[in-house]
A and B are shown apart, each in its own frame.
Chain A
Amino acid sequence: MPATTGAAPGSIVRFENASKVFPGRGRGAEVRAVDEVTLDIREGEIFGVIGQSGAGKSTLVRLINALERTTGGDVVVDGVALGSLSEARLRPVRAGIGMVFQQFNLLAARTVAGNVAYPLEVAGWPRARREERVAELLDFVGLSDKSGVHPSALSGGQKQRVGIARALATNPRILLADEATSALDPETTRDVLDLLQRVNRELGVTVVVITHEMDVVRSICHRVAVMERGRVVEVGEAYQVFSAPTHDTTRRFVATALRDRPSPEVLERLRARHTGHIVTVGVDEVAGSSAVLTRTLREHGVDGTVVFGGITEVAERPYGSLTVELVGDGSTVEAAVAALREVTWVDDHGRAEA
């Protein structure tokens, strides 16, 4: 029997000091793609792994279904430590984990139905049950009318939906999505993300999403790990991680999701147009939308004009900042800024030199 280790309650995938080192050519050429990662993925959540290309996230996700074997530490999936298993013993583990790919990786020689049936054939389902299951899955992803078509006749979004149907065929408890939307246009990306969210909500499947797009994490992930050079540099609830980033990489990703902070050049132009006191005020869950801002300014008799900024949602909660020109008597403006600082962060850009 495979070894069972004491995982945290609710944990379905556990990285225990897991490393993957590729030998490379020659001395010192080895690549530490995954470097001593310890991480818990909880049952039933959508877990995001975000990082630049080459950060090791694709290797990390392949450790979960052992397409890549650890060279140090271990990965425990559903109580089974993968490090000790032989290649033949790993096959049933893999069959219980669905995977979708950036380039879809559909079999060109098979029809849509044939692709979805493939994992069922591997799992030894009899033909009648296979056909029934394929019909059910194609209905779930909304492609019932494409059953007999070959993948080359499908659009990118349709191909990925076939990929998702195929990955779900054997009722896996875990679905791995490796840059599943990176080859798709924004609208199709939305459709595929919605589908992944349905898979999580309606089927209770734990979804692990690998991405370099902040938008993907922002819109569907409950928790997130930020990777850089093989290491997880930050991990936690998506909202927490992105509303209070502590690592530079995280900050860079946050900045790509919402260009709400004025750059020095923008600030210069703002100053030319607006002579008042300019501040950037954080908008988050605590600060409400912009209600607190409006109320505070009114209480201090200060006029506020929004000159830059934006508010979006991270993990379905408000997130962003507004840059505001404040006009009022010197002391009232300062008092208003002080009051705002009590509820949220404020970046004081001062006022233009008269």
Chain B
Amino acid sequence: MNWEFLTPLLWEAAGQTAYMVLITLAVGGFLGLALGLGLYLARPGNLLGNRFVFAVLNLAVNVVRPVPFIIFLVALGPLTRAVIGSTIGIEAFTFAMSFMATFVFARLVEQNLVSIDPGVVEAARAMGASPFRIVRTVLIPEALAPLILGYTFLFVGVLDMSAIGGYLGAGGLGDFAIVQGYRQYDWAVTAVVVVIIVVIVQAVQWLGNGLARRALRR
């Protein structure tokens, strides 16, 4: 193990992971929230109930979500090329991750919203609130704690996805562990990366739990 050689590479890999994960969390979080709200609102009998829209969104989520990410990467290739201009590199990989994260988070959001008492939504309607206002002032605030926990769960999933970034030449901690550890028969390097990832996940989970508890303090 040559840490003088490895340390700058490790920093670079960590930077790449941070880039991929943070952009994916931002894009996937925003679009996933929108898609999840869409699923919830379009469900027949709900605020903007529409059988057709619900069926389309529901099918899309069900089709995308269960596909193993490494296969999804390849399958999404044509779209990635159309949007990013290339199917390899960190941008292409981040695009695919954001896509998958959107659909994963959408289902989490929908499930959390379903648990809101429909009576509260009805009360807001009875007071003359518009659907958009109900989303902003009832649905999101009432489900905030589970939404924060869902977002924390998404973070772990995204970090997990980012580990195969090396496959598209996106780098990152996963790539570092394989190239510098596994392929060099240097178990210690792999172990260091594992420890780093565990520490990050623990820290984020601790933060998420804390924020969720604050949101629940009523």
Q: Which residues of A contact B (CB under 8 A)?
A: 65, 67, 88, 91-97, 99, 101, 103, 105-110, 118-119, 121-123, 150-152, 166
Contact = CB atoms under 8 A, between A and B. Distances in A.
Nearest to B118: A105
Given A99-B123, A101-B119, A107 B128 contact: no
A94 B141 contact: no
Nearest to A97: B126
Given A95-B128, A97-B126, A119-B127, A107 B119 contact: no
The 6 residue pairs across chains A and B that have the minimum distance between CB atoms: A95-B128, A150-B218, A105-B123, A105-B119, A119-B127, A109-B141
B128 A94 contact: yes
B130 A107 contact: no
Contacts of A106: 120, 123
B126 A65 contact: yes
A166 B129 CA distance: 14
Given A107-B120, A109-B218, 12 more contacts: A67-B122, A88-B130, A91-B128, A91-B130, A94-B125, A94-B126, A97-B126, A105-B119, A109-B142, A118-B127, A118-B137, A119-B128
Contacts of A99: 123, 126-127
Contacts of B126: 65, 67, 94, 97, 99
Contacts of A166: 127
- Which has the most chain A C-beta neighbours within 10 Å: B119, B122, B125, B127? B127
A346 B123 CA distance: 49
Main secondary structure of the interface of B (DSSP, over half): helix
B116 to A, nearest CB: 9
B133 interface: yes
A152 B216 CA distance: 11
Nearest to A169: B127
Interface string B200-218: 0000000000000001001
Contacts of B218: 108-109, 150-152
B4 interface: no
Contacts of B117: 103, 105
A151 B141 CA distance: 15
B168 interface: no
B147 to A, nearest CB: 12
Interface residues of B, number: 20
A166 B122 CA distance: 14
Contacts, number: 62
A123 B124 contact: no
B138 interface: yes
Contacts of B141: 107, 109-110
B58 to A, nearest CB: 19
B137 A121 contact: yes
Nearest to A151: B218
Interface string B127-156: 111100100011001101000000000000
17 contacts: A88-B130, A91-B129, A91-B130, A92-B128, A99-B123, A99-B126, A99-B127, A101-B119, A107-B138, A107-B142, A108-B142, A109-B218, A122-B124, A122-B127, A122-B129, A122-B133, A151-B218
B142 A101 contact: no
- Which has the most chain A C-beta neighbours within 10 Å: B122, B123, B133, B141? B123
Contacts of A122: 124, 127-129, 133
- Which has the most chain A C-beta neighbours within 10 Å: B120, B126, B128? B126
A81 to B, nearest CB: 18
A97 B126 CA distance: 8
Contact of B127 (A95, A150, A152): A95
Contacts of B120: 105-108
A92 B128 CA distance: 6
A248 to B, nearest CB: 32
Nearest to A103: B119
A96 B128 CA distance: 8
A123 B128 contact: yes
Contacts of A101: 119, 122-123
Contacts of A65: 126
A76 B137 CA distance: 30
B123 to A, nearest CB: 4
Contacts of A107: 120, 138, 141-142
Contacts of A110: 141
Contacts of A92: 128
B217 to A, nearest CB: 9
Nearest to A102: B119
Contacts of A152: 218
A299 to B, nearest CB: 59
A69 to B, nearest CB: 12
